[in-house]
Amino acid sequence: MGDQCQECAYYTYDEDYEEYVCDANMDEDDYCRLMQGKYKSCPYYRNGDEYSVVRKQI
């Protein structure tokens, strides 16, 4: 899932921690399931490429 995170819209830089973090709104149970590897891919993934829609129109 790590490669997918770098392209995600929720992957943002946190100045307090001075590193990139997942900013998806999830509860503690969802976070535990995600860390245990119960998902094949992240259910919170959202493409952060703002121009992907424009490319499809051409």
Give the pLDDT of residue 31: 87
Q: Model confidence over 11-31: pLDDT tens digits?
A: 999 999 999 999 999 999 988
Beta bridge partners of 21: 12
User: In this model, does residue 35 exceed pLDDT 80?
Assistant: yes
- Residue 46 to residues 5, 22, 24, 41, 50: CA-CA distances in angstroms? 9, 11, 10, 12, 11
Domain total in the chain: 1
> Which residue range forms the structural domain that includes residue 10?
2-57
Phi/psi of residue 43, each to 5°? -75, -10
